[in-house]
Amino acid sequence: MNIFKKTIFSVLFSLLVMGSVHADKIRIGTEGAYPPWNSKDESGKLIGFEVELAWTLCRYIGQQCVIVEQDWDGMIPALIMRKFDAIMAGMSITAERQKAISFSQGYADEVASLAVMKGSSLEGLDTPAGINLTKPNAAAKKALKTLTAALAGKTVCVQTATIHQNFLDSGDVGKVNVRTYKTQDEVNLDLASGRCDAALAAAVAFSDYAEKSGKPVVLTGPTFSGGAFGNGVGVGIRKDDTELLNKFNAAINKARKNGDISRIATKWFGFDASM
Amino acid sequence: MDFELMANSLPKLLGATVITLKLLSVSLIIGLFIGLVFAILRLNKNIFLNKFAYGYSYVFRGTPLLVQIFIIYFGLGQIEYFRSTFLWVIFKEPYWCAIIAFALNTGAYTSEILRSAFQTINPGFIEAGKSLGISNKIIFYKIQIPIAIRQSLPAYGNEIILMMKGTSLASTVTLMDLTGVAKYIISTTFKPIEIFVVAGSIYLFMTFIIHNFIKFLEKKYSVS
């Protein structure tokens, strides 16, 4: 009995000690399923643009970090419930999210795009190369009309709780049949299987999938930015944690000035996605 | 706790409950039929049919429902040949994939429940029937099946409740059932506790109804 009690106490004690050791580390949450932003290699190690950038930023902050994996759909609730202290998960800065959490300045920007399988009737839509939805000009408005007509009654697949879902739900391209998935991998699978007529995500997410899987996935229509697509990707931080927010903003400034963000972005995206 | 959000989300969640109930009832009806057929096969003396039925129930009871639904939805969709068959019309739809997975799963459990119920029937009842000169067919329909159903009611009630909770996995294949809509609301409000408490209460209420219905049936058909 005595040994039993001792064991329990020592286990509880070591748990307490372990808890306090982690206390001064910055815990950064990422999804690990959205290449090239963040993903995992064959051995299950987290890799990607944001993982490398996170280590760099931590070095500038001068504090130790741990990177924690978290499913995308629970990312913001997990931050609020203090499972980690910062989000670096390709999360765009949007007004909707800013109601719940704060964001650092943006460190990178992505454009979104529709993707279809080669040979789809949605291939080669007559639209400009890119449109900005913050203050849509005449060409952008015309492009949205073209898309509304082309997508009427079609099934468009997106990852849940993303800017891409927000955009489709906003009604800017009329009433499309939106299907939501837990991960981008599942969106890609169903695009390839033909269950989705089209999918919407970061353009790089599709080119990465096409390259790795060899499937004939092609981008179509304009690339999207601004409006529902937010203002770049930043570090998400709890609203009451202004100290950490300032630390990240300062670190991003330094990393940008020293060319670190450009260098890491070019390495992972194949082009300079930094901002 | 954001009580206003809880109240506002209730109508949307109740609307999604209709999908949950549809998934549950359709898969239970198909599953009960599958279960009955496979229970009879299990009691069959033909070794091939017997082993086939045993294998089916072994596979579907031995793997998680989530894995089954993923294989049926994402797995089959990857096979190019499968997509060119007429079956693709059904398997293209997430709704039917979910129904097929649920029905096969509950069918496996139901077959075991019914099999054990058949096997626990007092042989005296069947002998009594035979001594009165009743044909085997009538004995099966009028004596064995009614007793087996009565015997399996408590276990089958459990299975209905398990299956009702299992339908929440439909949200993993893009269906907007109760759990799917709950997750959707959370994705825009970032308040999981409030929404899951409401969704959980709805599940609990459904369990309450099913539980009491089975209890009522048990009383109605009790032997004593």
- Residue B83 has its nearest CB partner, among A96, A182, A194, at A194
Angle at CA B132, nearest 5°, toward B131 and B138?
105
- Contact A73/A184 with Cβ under 8 angstroms? no
B155 contacts: CB under 8 Å, gap ≥ 6: B113, B116, B117
In this prediction, residues A245-253 reach a mean pLDDT of 97
In this prediction, residues B111-134 reach a mean pLDDT of 93
Checking if the pLDDT of A22 tops 60, the result is no
Go through chain B and tell me how many residues it has: 224
The percent of residues in chain A predicted with pLDDT above 90, rounded, is 85
Q: Which amino acid is at B21?
A: L
Q: Which amino acid is at A239?
A: K
Q: Which amino acid is at A116?
A: V
Q: Give backbone dihedrals phi and psi of A240, rounded to 5 degrees, phi first.
A: -85, 0
Q: How far apart are CA A15 and CA B148, in angstroms?
A: 52
Band the pLDDT of B41: cuts 50, 70, 90: very high
Q: Which residues of A touch B183 (CB under 8 A)?
A: 73, 160
**Best interface-test mutation with A: which of B76, B80, B87, B174 has the largest number of A CBs within 10 A?**
B174
pLDDT of residue A135: 87
The percent of residues in chain B predicted with pLDDT above 90, rounded, is 88
Q: Which residues of B touch A165 (CB under 8 A)?
A: 187
Cβ–Cβ gap A194/B190 under 8 Å? no
Give the C-alpha distances (Å, rounded to integers) separating B16 from B20, B95, B107, B175: 7, 14, 25, 10
Cβ–Cβ gap A193/B77 under 8 Å? yes
- Domains of chain B, residue spans: 3-221
* Closest C-alpha to A109, from A220, A272, A243: A272
pLDDT of residue A15: 59
Distance from CA of B4 to the nearest CA of A (A): 17
Average pLDDT for chain B: 94
In this prediction, residues B105-131 reach a mean pLDDT of 94
Cβ–Cβ gap B190/A77 under 8 Å? yes
Cβ–Cβ gap B183/A73 under 8 Å? yes
Band the pLDDT of A126: cuts 50, 70, 90: confident
In this prediction, residues A2-21 reach a mean pLDDT of 62
pLDDT of residue B224: 59
B150 interfaces chain A, CB cutoff of 8 Å = no
Checking if the pLDDT of B93 tops 70, the result is yes
Band the pLDDT of B222: cuts 50, 70, 90: confident
Reported ipTM = 0.84
Q: Which tokens go with B215?
A: 């209890």
B83 interfaces chain A, CB cutoff of 8 Å = yes
B86 interfaces chain A, CB cutoff of 8 Å = no
The percent of residues in chain A predicted with pLDDT above 70, rounded, is 92
A89 contacts: CB under 8 Å, gap ≥ 6: A29, A30, A31, A34, A37, A38, A50, A70, A72, A75, A236
Cβ–Cβ gap A77/B92 under 8 Å? no
Q: Which residues of A touch B16 (CB under 8 A)?
A: none
* CB burial readout A81-99, b (16+ within 10 A) else e: eeebbbbbbbbbbbeebee
Least confident of A2-11, A190-199, B187-196: A2-11
Checking if the pLDDT of A19 tops 70, the result is no
Checking if the pLDDT of A115 tops 60, the result is yes
Band the pLDDT of B221: cuts 50, 70, 90: confident
A218 interfaces chain B, CB cutoff of 8 Å = no
pLDDT of residue B118: 92
* Per-residue pLDDT tens over the stretch B77-91: 999 999 999 999 999
Q: Give backbone dihedrals phi and psi of A253, rounded to 5 degrees, phi first.
A: -55, -50
Cβ–Cβ gap B174/A179 under 8 Å? yes
A158: closest chain B residue by CA: B174
pLDDT of residue B30: 98
pLDDT of residue B206: 97
Q: Give backbone dihedrals phi and psi of B201, rounded to 5 degrees, phi first.
A: -65, -35
In this prediction, residues B134-151 reach a mean pLDDT of 90
Q: Which tokens go with A93?
A: 């800065």
pLDDT of residue A1: 54
User: What sign does the dihedral A158-A161-A167-A170 (CA atoms) show?
Assistant: positive
- Residue B78 has its nearest CB partner, among A76, A161, A189, at A189
* Per-residue pLDDT tens over the stretch B158-205: 999 999 999 999 999 999 999 999 999 998 899 999 999 999 999 999
In this prediction, residues B209-223 reach a mean pLDDT of 91
B186 interfaces chain A, CB cutoff of 8 Å = yes
CATH class, B3-221 region: mainly alpha
Distance from CA of A235 to the nearest CA of B (A): 17
Q: Which residues of A touch B75 (CB under 8 A)?
A: none
pLDDT of residue A120: 94
Average pLDDT for chain A: 92
- Residue B77 has its nearest CB partner, among A77, A180, A189, at A189
Q: Which residues of B touch A100 (CB under 8 A)?
A: 190
* Per-residue pLDDT tens over the stretch A83-114: 999 999 999 999 989 999 999 999 999 899 99
pLDDT of residue A56: 96
- Residue A180 has its nearest CB partner, among B74, B78, B174, at B174
* CB burial readout B48-73, b (16+ within 10 A) else e: eeeeebbebbeebeeeebeebbbebb
Checking if the pLDDT of A11 tops 70, the result is no
Q: At what angle do helices B47-62 and B94-119 cross, to 10 degrees?
A: 120
Q: Which residues of A touch B192 (CB under 8 A)?
A: 74, 77
Give the C-alpha distances (Å, rounded to integers) separating A131 from A109, A119, A136, A157, A224: 14, 24, 7, 20, 5
Cβ–Cβ gap A186/B74 under 8 Å? yes
In this prediction, residues B209-221 reach a mean pLDDT of 93
Residue with tokens 């790089």: A204
What radius of gyration do chain B's Cα atoms show? 21
Residue with tokens 């082309």: A150
- Contact A149/A175 with Cβ under 8 angstroms? no
